[in-house]
């Protein structure tokens, strides 16, 4: 049944991956009484409690704080240089910083620049940031639809998303124009749009797909246009059925297949399983193709973009609106009113906390991102950046503060690792002070999804052990140079 | 709004919730059917022996954690589990101080000196039993009780050979099999299956061992790779015995297959490694039973295969997904 969906020209490569994968999958689904036909990656994965009910029914609201602090580093790559100074007046959408590669940062609100100095940052701890005090002007920019946007050439579209400061909004914050600027010899046949949202608690992508399905679909179309492929799959986990229906209806309504650049677009249901939203796992789930070690998706003919990124692409191309805001899920049992909010980039977490009614009970952890891969914050005065998908306020009962013990060799981490790695061995070698002997156990393949730590009965911080080993290898490579 | 109480750590920030202690206590619960059955068949001695063995394990663990200044692991149920498993391998009429000494030495020599929970190479209960076999050879091979449901004459020690010893003698001499200690009018294989025969406390009843194992399977604590391959390996050697069916139902085979060989710490963690490990145990059990010096084979078979675990883990590694990479 998977075989039918194979694109032409990929048979040789796919056949190998798919036959072994489909056969194993079939056997597994019989043995484990899985629902037949559900697509997922072949190996490993977990199903943590979703907790999406806290915000799944919360429609996206807007919230504009009285000031924003916009860090100049918000994507992988060189940091931007501030183009404004203290006391400058800026308008919403004005360029306020630009990186050497042309990626720009824009004013999320209109107002006066209060400061350009080092401020707390959710990922980098500290970073140069531009603080703007809100001061609405009479002619707020509205970003109306530009006529003829569909007829724009690929090059113009790419230019717009570069200048619009687009980065992957799923959390990785990789510059979108770089992902969409393909090497001349690349043979891409499929665009995957990632609507999996496999992290617990987060519902911002779900709400976006549900409320703005047409924009998501049109956004996917713009990306397909930019990379020149006529096939697009939108992967959504089966716990988001309403979003699936909304997307399917939108595809029907818009007639994507009869636009000037026709795209065969399909919404594909996947089994709800973490880390389905990881790029490689999604590719495997939807197409059966396996990205080679340290390879890129385009080596198997695929480009992946998140639904929120697709939405932002449309806004950048159709409305000339740069990335100045994003949807953030504010959730957890530790927040009084969980919400989905569209907020300007640079909104401080303290302001969001106040807007959502403050703490509810004893909060022991505040996270930027989901509970699996998100970061614990020490300071609530950090801003929302382009890669911030969620803010979680967790109480003691929701999170894990236990100490860890010795490896008892249960093998659970081997079972759940989606890559077939051996976190147990890596952790033991690191404990023995021999991190440079762990390559054989796959440590360099690890993308830190955290499934291993999640299941470990001894509560071992396996992801951190992996990081220690990876750092040791990086340092070794550096010292050899 | 104070942020002093915020905890920092790397993800994941949530946890499945099954802890080592939970696993160990579930294993202990799964051993209860066999223990209760042993109490019904052999009387109160088995409870006393089990408690003595658990006490020996706990004392050793407590001492070791104190001396080595590692956090005490006494509450996580792992030593209780060792204690019960050791008791299960002992004759039901053993003097009560012997299990205490055996357990104490077993935990100290097979666990504590290796670094405590998670670091031992050998199955602790089986090392303790091996120590006791060497230390108290007479008591360990003669203190049997005839089976009899509560009320029957259980008090008299029954000094005779166990079914395995009888079978071995019959196999080696070629004479007809004469079982002792089985209720007279009962079909022998049914009495073996139910556990109405003489033998060690926890291993006589295949039925109750399997019931306990089913509980562990249900909770996904053990998988079938090891137990099934142990039984398969043993079955390959069964035709060389005098009574293949009784051979499969007697001795500690089932207890060993489901509860001893599946010990997380001392078994390989990959499916292929586990299958080879199990087959090795099964085959060695058969070889020792049929041609070795002891009637019992599984204890030493498991200990021998424990030695191979690090090698098996290296030889049978999981296949890494990225190796299947399909560049176009």
pLDDT digits (tens, 9 = 90+) for A148-172: 999 999 999 999 999 999 999 987 7
Decide if A291 contacts A300 (C-beta within 8 A): yes
Q: Do B20 and A405 touch (CB under 8 A)?
A: yes
The whole-number pLDDT of residue A24 equals 53
Decide if B91 contacts B49 (C-beta within 8 A): no
Q: Is the pLDDT of residue A37 over 80?
A: no
Q: Do B11 and A353 touch (CB under 8 A)?
A: no
Taken as a whole, chain B contains a residue count of 328
The residue in chain B having the minimum alpha-carbon distance to the alpha carbon of residue A358 is B1
The residue in chain A having the minimum alpha-carbon distance to the alpha carbon of residue B116 is A406
- Among B187, B133, B141, which Cα is nearest to B164's? B141
C-alpha to C-alpha distances, B1 to A68, A87, A381, B8, nearest whole angstrom: 20, 30, 11, 17
DSSP A152: -
- The residues in B 69-108 lying below 8 A from A, measured between CB atoms, are 71, 73
Q: Is B22 in the A-facing interface, judged by CB distances under 8 Å?
A: yes
**Contacts B10 to A, Cβ<8 Å:** 375-376, 461, 463-464, 467
Q: Where are the alpha helices (DSSP H) in chain B?
A: 20-30, 32-42, 45-68, 78-88, 97-110, 124-135, 137-142, 163-173, 188-194, 206-218, 225-237, 244-249, 253-255, 271-291, 298-315
Most distant pair of Cα atoms in chain B: their distance: 86
Is A117 or A22 the better-scoring residue by pLDDT? Answer: A117
Decide if A298 contacts A315 (C-beta within 8 A): no
The residue in chain A having the minimum alpha-carbon distance to the alpha carbon of residue B220 is A412
State the nearest Cα–Cα gap between B263 and chain A, in angstroms: 9
Cα A20 from Cα A7, distance rounded (Å):
18
For residue A274, list its beta bridge partners.
Answer: A46
The whole-number pLDDT of residue A31 equals 52
Q: What is the pLDDT of residues B125-150, one digit of tens each?
A: 999 999 999 999 888 888 787 777 65
Q: What is the pLDDT of residues A133-152, one digit of tens each?
A: 999 888 888 899 999 999 99
The whole-number pLDDT of residue A125 equals 82
Cα B302 from Cα B308, distance rounded (Å):
10
C-alpha to C-alpha distances, B135 to A389, B128, B139, B286, nearest whole angstrom: 65, 10, 9, 25
C-alpha to C-alpha distances, A273 to A80, A157, A408, A413, nearest whole angstrom: 37, 34, 26, 16
Q: Model-level pTM?
A: 0.88
Q: Which two tokens stand for residue B85?
A: 């498993």
Smallest Cβ–Cβ distance between A421 and the set B1, B3, B320 belongs to B320
Cα B18 from Cα A374, distance rounded (Å):
22
Between the two ends of chain B, the Cα-to-Cα distance in Å is 55
State the nearest Cα–Cα gap between A218 and chain B, in angstroms: 29
**Contacts B318 to A, Cβ<8 Å:** 414, 417, 420-422
Cα A127 from Cα B80, distance rounded (Å):
54
Smallest Cβ–Cβ distance between B318 and the set A363, A410, A420 belongs to A420
**Contacts A375 to B, Cβ<8 Å:** 10-11
Q: What is the pLDDT of residues A387-433, one digit of tens each?
A: 999 999 999 999 988 889 999 999 999 999 999 999 999 999 999 99
Q: Is the pLDDT of residue A129 over 90?
A: yes
Q: Is the pLDDT of residue A3 over 60?
A: no
Which three-class secondary structure state does DSSP give residue A27?
helix
Cα B33 from Cα B151, distance rounded (Å):
20
State the nearest Cα–Cα gap between A134 and chain B, in angstroms: 24
Q: Compute the CA torsion angle A12, A14, A19, A25 (nearest 10 deg).
A: 180
Candidates A381, A410, A467, partner chain B, best to mutate (most B CBs within 10 A): A410
Query: Per-residue pLDDT averaged across B291-306, rounded?
Result: 89
The whole-number pLDDT of residue A8 equals 36
Q: Do B15 and A454 touch (CB under 8 A)?
A: yes
**Contacts A401 to B, Cβ<8 Å:** 7
Q: Which two tokens stand for residue B121?
A: 């190479």
Which three-class secondary structure state does DSSP give residue A186?
coil
Taken as a whole, chain A contains a residue count of 481
C-alpha to C-alpha distances, B192 to B151, B183, B189, B195, nearest whole angstrom: 20, 10, 5, 5
φ and ψ at A139, to 5 degrees? Answer: -115, 70
Is A30 or B285 the better-scoring residue by pLDDT? Answer: B285
Residue B323's pLDDT band (cuts 50, 70, 90): confident
Q: Compute the CA torsion angle A212, A215, A216, A221 (nearest 10 deg).
A: 160
Cα B286 from Cα A263, distance rounded (Å):
66
Q: Is the pLDDT of residue B305 over 90?
A: yes
- Please report the number of interchain residue pairs, chain A to chain B, with beta-carbon separation below 8 angstroms: 187
Q: Do B119 and A406 touch (CB under 8 A)?
A: yes
Q: Do B328 and A13 touch (CB under 8 A)?
A: yes
Q: Which two tokens stand for residue B227?
A: 């137990």
Q: What is the pLDDT of residues B207-241, one digit of tens each?
A: 999 999 999 999 999 999 999 999 999 999 998 88
Q: Do A378 and B325 touch (CB under 8 A)?
A: no
Decide if B207 contacts B193 (C-beta within 8 A): yes
Strands in A111-121's sheet, in edge-to-edge order, are: A67-71, A125-134, A111-121, A89-90
For residue A113, list its beta bridge partners.
Answer: A132
State the nearest Cα–Cα gap between A96 and chain B, in angstroms: 31
**Contacts B4 to A, Cβ<8 Å:** none
Q: Is the pLDDT of residue A18 over 50?
A: no
For residue B145, list its beta bridge partners.
Answer: B157
Q: Do B116 and A406 touch (CB under 8 A)?
A: yes
DSSP B256: I
**Contacts A293 to B, Cβ<8 Å:** 320, 322-323, 325
The whole-number pLDDT of residue A243 equals 96
């Amino acid at each position: 049944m998977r075989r039918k969906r194979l694109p032409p020209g990929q048979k040789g490569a796919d056949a190998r991956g798919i036959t072994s994968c489909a056969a194993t999958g079939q056997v597994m689904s019989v043995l484990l009484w899985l629902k037949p036909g559900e697509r997922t990656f072949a190996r490993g994965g977990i199903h943590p409690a979703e907790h999406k009910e806290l915000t799944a029914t919360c429609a996206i609201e807007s919230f504009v704080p009285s000031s924003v602090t916009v860090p100049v580093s918000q994507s992988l790559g060189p940091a931007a240089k501030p183009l404004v100074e203290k006391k400058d007046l800026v308008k919403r959408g004005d360029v306020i910083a630009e990186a050497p590669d042309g990626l720009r940062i824009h004013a999320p609100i209109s107002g006066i620049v209060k400061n350009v100095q080092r401020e707390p940052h959710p990922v980098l701890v500290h970073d140069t940031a531009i603080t703007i005090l809100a001061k609405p002007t009479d002619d707020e920019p509205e970003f109306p639809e530009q006529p003829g946007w569909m007829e724009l050439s690929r090059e113009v579209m790419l230019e717009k998303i570069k200048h619009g400061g687009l980065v992957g909004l799923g959390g990785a914050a990789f510059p979108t124009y770089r992902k969409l600027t393909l090497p001349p010899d690349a043979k891409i046949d499929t665009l995957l749009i990632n609507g999996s949202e496999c992290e617990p608690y987060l519902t911002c992508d779900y709400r976006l797909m549900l409320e703005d399905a047409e924009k998501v679909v049109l956004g996917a179309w713009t990306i397909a246009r930019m990379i020149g492929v006529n096939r697009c799959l939108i992967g959504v986990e089966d716990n988001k059925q309403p979003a699936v229906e909304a997307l399917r209806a939108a595809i029907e309504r818009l007639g994507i297949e009869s636009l000037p650049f026709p795209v065969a677009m399909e919404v594909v249901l996947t089994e709800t399983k973490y880390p389905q939203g990881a790029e490689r796992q999604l590719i495997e789930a939807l197409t059966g193709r396996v990205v080679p070690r340290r390879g890129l998706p385009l080596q198997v003919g695929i480009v992946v973009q998140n639904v929120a990124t697709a939405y932002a692409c449309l806004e950048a191309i159709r409305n000339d609106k740069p990335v100045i805001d994003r949807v953030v899920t504010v959730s957890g049992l530790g927040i009084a009113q969980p919400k989905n909010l569209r907020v300007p980039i640079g909104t401080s977490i303290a302001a969001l906390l106040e807007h959502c009614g403050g703490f509810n009970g004893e909060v022991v952890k505040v996270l930027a991102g989901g509970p699996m891969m998100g970061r614990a914050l020490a300071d609530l005065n950090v801003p929302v950046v382009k890669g911030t998908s969620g803010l979680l306020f967790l109480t003691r009962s929701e999170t894990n503060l236990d100490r860890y013990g010795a490896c008892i060799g249960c093998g659970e981490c081997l079972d759940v690792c989606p890559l077939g790695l051996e976190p147990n061995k890596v952790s033991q070698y690191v404990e023995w002070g021999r991190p440079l002997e762990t390559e054989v156990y796959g440590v360099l393949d690890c993308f830190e999804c955290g499934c291993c730590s999640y299941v470990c009965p001894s509560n071992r911080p396996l992801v951190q052990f992996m990081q220690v080993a990876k750092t040791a290898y990086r340092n070794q490579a550096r010292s050899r140079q | 709004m104070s942020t002093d109480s915020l905890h920092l750590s790397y993800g994941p920030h949530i946890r499945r919730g099954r802890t080592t202690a939970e696993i160990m206590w579930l294993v202990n619960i799964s051993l209860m059917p066999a223990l209760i059955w042993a109490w019904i068949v052999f009387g109160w001695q088995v409870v006393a022996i089990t408690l003595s063995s658990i006490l020996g394990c706990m004392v050793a663990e407590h001492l070791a954690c104190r001396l080595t200044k590692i956090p005490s692991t006494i509450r996580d149920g792992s030593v209780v589990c060792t204690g019960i498993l050791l008791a299960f391998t002992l004759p039901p009429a053993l003097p009560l101080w012997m299990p205490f000494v055996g357990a104490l030495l077993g935990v100290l020599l097979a666990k504590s000196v290796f670094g405590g929970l998670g670091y031992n190479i050998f199955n602790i209960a089986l090392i303790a039993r091996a120590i006791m076999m060497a230390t108290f050879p007479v008591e360990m091979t003669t203190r049997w009780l005839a089976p009899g449901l509560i009320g029957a004459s259980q008090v008299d020690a029954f000094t005779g050979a166990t079914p395995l010893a009888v079978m071995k003698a019959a196999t080696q001499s070629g004479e007809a099999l004469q079982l002792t200690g089985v209720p007279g009018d009962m079909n022998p294989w049914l009495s073996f299956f139910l556990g109405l025969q003489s033998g060690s406390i926890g291993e006589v009843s295949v039925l109750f061992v399997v019931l306990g194992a089913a509980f562990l399977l249900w909770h996904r604590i053990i998988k079938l790779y090891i137990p099934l391959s142990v039984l398969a390996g043993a079955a390959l050697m069964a035709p060389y015995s005098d009574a293949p069916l009784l051979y499969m139902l007697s001795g500690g085979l089932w207890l060993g297959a489901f509860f001893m060989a599946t010990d997380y710490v001392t078994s390989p963690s990959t499916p292929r490694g586990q299958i080879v490990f199990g087959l090795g145990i099964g085959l060695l059990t058969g070889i020792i039973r049929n041609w070795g010096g002891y009637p019992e084979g599984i204890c030493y078979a498991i200990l021998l295969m424990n030695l191979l675990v690090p090698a098996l883990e290296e030889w049978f590694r999981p296949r890494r997904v990225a190796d299947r990479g399909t560049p176009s």
